[in-house]
Structure 1
Amino acid sequence: MAVLAVLAGTGFDASPRWPARIQVFVANSGSDNVTVYDTRLGKVTATVGVGDYPTGVGAHPAGHRVYVTNESSNTVSVIDTRTLSVVATVPVGPNPFGVAATPTHAYVTNFGRGDVTVIDTATNAPVKTIPVGRFPHSAVAAPDGSRVYVTNHGSDSVTVIDTASQAVVGTIPVGVFPAGIAISRDGARVYVANTGSDTVTVIETDGNRPAGSTKVGDAPLGVSVTPGGRVHVANTGSNTVSVLGPTGRPLEVVKVGRMPEGSAAAPDDSFVYVTNTGSGTVSVIDAENGETAAPFTVGAAPEGVAVTS
């Protein structure tokens, strides 16, 4: 597979497709910090200390805040994306893992307790706890902020939360051990990576019903959707990323680093960023053609990843 041109030691070359500025935030579970990579400069610009064993990362829709779940300290670190510093530490439930944000609230999955902590994004205070399924893993918010979808790793299901009432309005059966979750930019489809069945379930949000599943690589975990509709699934057990079309049709397979876990797509449809937990790197995949660029180095055991612009 062709490799995008790079300038030695500085990152990518100047390209019409390269974004003006995008920041990539990577949670390093093995070094208790977050790496910040600036795509315009082509280098790491900051390393931000957070809590113990950070795993999940979620960006506020406005891009001014990033929320990091600290699984071993039962907290969420709130990072200001302008100052690249922690501005709040919020107590949540046991073993927080995933996080998704709407304009008004952040939703944190408490893997160890079977519920979701709701944080007010204006005050950084927890305001509600919502019971979901067993071992909730990851979460994603609808583009309009009206719904949040949570994967229940121990229940083989996805819980649907209405953000106006802060109540559960649906439960959708999916594959075995659902983990990563993503939603299309029009909010029409949700994609769930089922680690135990090596599949991705496609959910139609109109009616909240499964619309089929697609076989991918071994132990899929992270999943993201580009603005153009290409779905990127990190297969932890096969060191690959499966690329699917909007309906789940397989398009190609991209080789990445060891034990890929997290996946995040740039908002300008330029690149997809995949964390390689076993390599301590992030792979960069062209969203249009699947070509890969040289990976960049981050901290130890990177897991979650989020992109802001």
Structure 2
Amino acid sequence: MSVYSVRARIHAASSRSITRKSLLPRLGVSVAALAVLAGTGFEASPRWPARIQVFVANSGSDNVTVYDTRLGKVTATVGVGDYPTGVGAHPAGHRVYVANESSNTVSVIDTRTLAVVATVPVGPNPFGVAATPTHAYVTNFGRDDVTVIDTATNAPVKTIPVGRFPHSAVASPDGSRLYVTNNGGDSVTVIDTASQTAVGTIPVGLFPAGIAISRDGARLYVANTGSDSVTVIETDGNRPSGTTKVGDAPLGVSVTPGGRVHVANTGSDTVSVLGPTGKPLEVVKVQRMPEGSAAAPDDSSVYIANTGSDTVSVTNAENGEPAAPFAVGDAPEGVAVTS
């Protein structure tokens, strides 16, 4: 399948297009949890580490690859809807939500059984997903709004208007705020999750795509695909505090527990690593067309979905050293990590 995303066409209008076989780029979410060896009397240790699973949405093969980092192998391939793009994880780690861009649905995956337990109707062209303990939020790129799903019932309960072409979303660590990038509005919408209403708009760069938040919730990082930059936002006051130049066409972004920001540069086949304030630290070479970025909750690794190579690159979260990539499905885009 060879098509251009709506975002890519907008990008082309500014004379900077990227040829892609996928519809829409996204990023993913990481969730932390403590694991022990139940019923054995032994606690988890470096010899038997906590189970960390990587979920990768393959837009070209309509499925999700599940990779178990403890076993070091792919453990399942889960069929979902048409053109899965964004992936988001529940904070408790027991559910993963996959936006099916051409089906206008979200697939809900049980992370223990690795089976789809619900398919939820949402708006047109769902793109990114973020979750709080009570609700999952889906950005509808084709309708300029966000669908709110009750995580207890897997039913859509509300629609929240946002900016033009909403792309990706991230929730604050305490679940009180949701932040949505508006790819066609060069802005981020701030949503109060108690009232389920938009309470602010933050200006950022050109064609904002991926978004991530620091572990303490103090800073947001927005990848601006059209201006090859990352905007750093202080959440106290919702104000941009700086802009850092990165590689060509940045899309996915993630933050490790240690505060290192990893930005997937689709047009230059690299990952830019930034410090907490946005200071450039290093550039890591990956495979073709990196899009999704997600960090492990134990600060061990960062996972980069390479749309053009059908692989996921693995880098050390503390120093950027590459490990062996692993193969996934066709045209991987979004990625999320749970434990």
Q: Does the 8 A contact of 1:2 with 1:291 survive in 2?
A: no
> Could you say what secondary structure the match of 1:103 adopts?
coil
CA distance 1:98–1:18, shift in 2 (3 Å)? farther
- The match for 2:79 is 49
Segment of structure 1 superposing worse, 12-21 or 247-256: 12-21
> Could you say what secondary structure the match of 1:12 adopts?
coil
- The match for 1:141 is 171
CA distance in 1, matches of 2:174, 2:199: 17
Q: Does the 8 A contact of 2:32 with 2:91 survive in 1?
A: no
Q: Does the 8 A contact of 2:35 with 2:44 survive in 1?
A: no
Identity of aligned residues (%): 91
**Could you tell me how far 1:204 is from its partner in structure 2?**
0.2
Q: Deviations over 1:137-180 (max 9, x none)?
A: 00000000000000000000000000000000100000000000
CA distance in 2, matches of 1:10, 1:302: 37
Q: Does the 8 A contact of 2:266 with 2:289 survive in 1?
A: yes
Q: Does the 8 A contact of 1:152 with 1:178 survive in 2?
A: yes
CA distance 1:13–1:42, shift in 2 (3 Å)? farther
Q: Does the 8 A contact of 1:10 with 1:41 survive in 2?
A: no
Which of 98, 104, 120 is the aligned partner of 1:90? Answer: 120
Q: Deviations over 1:222-243 (max 9, x none)?
A: 0000000000000000000000
Higher strand share: 1
Q: Deviations over 1:28-70 (max 9, x none)?
A: 0000000000001100000000000000000000000000000
Q: Displaced runs of 4+ in structure 1, greater than 3 A?
A: 1-19
Q: Does the 8 A contact of 1:3 with 1:294 survive in 2?
A: no
Q: Does 1:66 align with 2:96?
A: yes
**Could you tell me how far 1:7 is from its partner in structure 2?**
24
> Could you say what secondary structure the match of 1:7 adopts?
coil
CA distance in 1, matches of 2:34, 2:303: 14
- The match for 1:14 is 44
Q: Does 1:75 align with 2:105?
A: yes
Q: Does the 8 A contact of 2:144 with 2:161 survive in 1?
A: yes
**Could you tell me how far 1:20 is from its partner in structure 2?**
2.5
Q: Does the 8 A contact of 2:56 with 2:336 survive in 1?
A: yes
Q: Does the 8 A contact of 2:34 with 2:50 survive in 1?
A: no
Gaps of 5+ in 1: none
Segment of structure 1 superposing worse, 19-28 or 129-138: 19-28
Q: Does the 8 A contact of 2:221 with 2:233 survive in 1?
A: yes
**Could you tell me how far 1:121 is from its partner in structure 2?**
0.2
Q: Does the 8 A contact of 2:91 with 2:132 survive in 1?
A: yes
> Could you say what secondary structure the match of 2:142 adopts?
coil
**Could you tell me how far 1:3 is from its partner in structure 2?**
28
CA distance 1:270–1:298, shift in 2 (3 Å)? same
CA distance 1:302–1:143, shift in 2 (3 Å)? same
* Larger RCO (CA under 8 A, 6+ residues apart): 2
CA distance 1:210–1:234, shift in 2 (3 Å)? same
**Could you tell me how far 1:218 is from its partner in structure 2?**
0.1
CA distance 1:64–1:4, shift in 2 (3 Å)? closer
Q: Does the 8 A contact of 2:166 with 2:184 survive in 1?
A: yes
Q: Does the 8 A contact of 2:98 with 2:108 survive in 1?
A: yes
Per the normalisation by structure 1, the TM-score is 0.95
**Could you tell me how far 1:14 is from its partner in structure 2?**
14
**Could you tell me how far 1:19 is from its partner in structure 2?**
4.3
**Could you tell me how far 1:16 is from its partner in structure 2?**
4.4
CA distance 1:35–1:12, shift in 2 (3 Å)? farther
CA distance 1:12–1:242, shift in 2 (3 Å)? farther
Q: Does the 8 A contact of 2:36 with 2:50 survive in 1?
A: no
Q: Does the 8 A contact of 1:3 with 1:293 survive in 2?
A: no
Q: Deviations over 1:178-204 (max 9, x none)?
A: 000000000000000000000000000
**Could you tell me how far 1:21 is from its partner in structure 2?**
1.5
Q: Does the 8 A contact of 2:233 with 2:239 survive in 1?
A: yes
CA distance in 2, matches of 1:126, 1:116: 10
Q: Does the 8 A contact of 1:30 with 1:302 survive in 2?
A: yes
- The match for 2:311 is 281
**Could you tell me how far 1:10 is from its partner in structure 2?**
25
CA distance 1:82–1:158, shift in 2 (3 Å)? same
Q: Does the 8 A contact of 1:72 with 1:95 survive in 2?
A: yes
Gaps of 5+ in 2: 1-30
Q: Does the 8 A contact of 2:32 with 2:338 survive in 1?
A: no
Q: Does the 8 A contact of 1:276 with 1:303 survive in 2?
A: yes
> Could you say what secondary structure the match of 2:47 adopts?
coil
CA distance in 2, matches of 1:62, 1:8: 17
